[in-house]
Amino acid sequence: MAELAPSILAADFNRLGEQIKEVGNTGTRYLHIDVMDGLFVPSISFGMPLIESIRKESGMFFDVHLMINEPARYLDEFAKAGADGITVHKEACASLKETLTGINKLGLKPSVSINPETPVQEIEDVLDMVYMVLVMSVHPGFGGQKFIPSSLEKVRWLKEKREEKGLSYKIEIDGGVNKNNIAEIAGNGVDVIVAGTAVFNGNITGNINTLKEVL
Ligand code: DX5
Ligand code: ZN
């Protein structure tokens, strides 16, 4: 069964603590945290101090998605801030393997992400090192974009490879998920489904229940 990972990028930061509590009360396990540096992606979101603050009141799995260049520079700091898992982009790392090993050494779950234009085959050599593979189904940088259907081909490839290699990584998808496409996405074998706008726009508990209905 697929799990939902609400992305706080779409939250109302004026009421962030309250909204995270509401998400937690629905029994959701993953909280997706999008960090942007204005270089790897055009926009800037938030960083360690915010994660440190919300860590104090949440026991959820902090799924920290680093959309930053050379994330190896900051692994320590994100670990200290309270990340449970760190996802780095293949496109952003000079040495992807070293970066994933670094995350692992900090006692956190290492994951890798790829942009829509990056062929999934390019990460085949790290599949045995990761907790999750995050397939971007929009161009990273902003919430509220349209789902790119071809990302599901990558999901199916990852599912096949996992079977073939006897591995156990999770497959996560991020961007453009809503109540109309979530059933099809889950049906393709995605394990963790990120949703920002579809969770935080309107009634959070109601939205989560609607999205989870088909999982
Ligand atoms: C995009 C982020 C996503 C984003 C998803 O760069 O990585 O996690 O918050 O937002 P929605 O669900 O609104 O497409
Ligand atoms: Zn994300």
Predicted local distance difference test score (pLDDT) of residue 124: 98
Q: Please give the structure tokens belonging to residue 164.
A: 């073939």
Q: Which atom of ligand 1 is nearest to the CA of 196?
A: 12
**Residue 174 annotated as catalytic:** yes
The set of protein residues with a Cβ atom below 6 angstroms from ligand 1 is 7, 9-10, 32, 34, 65, 138, 140-145, 174-177, 194-198
CA distance 44 to 13: 14
- Please count the CA atoms within 13 angstroms of the CA of 166 that sit on its side-chain side: 0
Predicted local distance difference test score (pLDDT) of residue 3: 98
CA distance 23 to 39: 30
pLDDT 10s digits, 24-76: 999 999 999 999 999 999 999 999 999 999 999 999 999 999 999 999 999 99
Average pLDDT over residues 9-15: 98
> Would strands 170-174 and 3-6 be described as parallel, antiparallel, or unpaired?
unpaired
Q: Which residues pair with 110 in a beta bridge?
A: 86
Contact 121, 149 (CB under 8 A): no
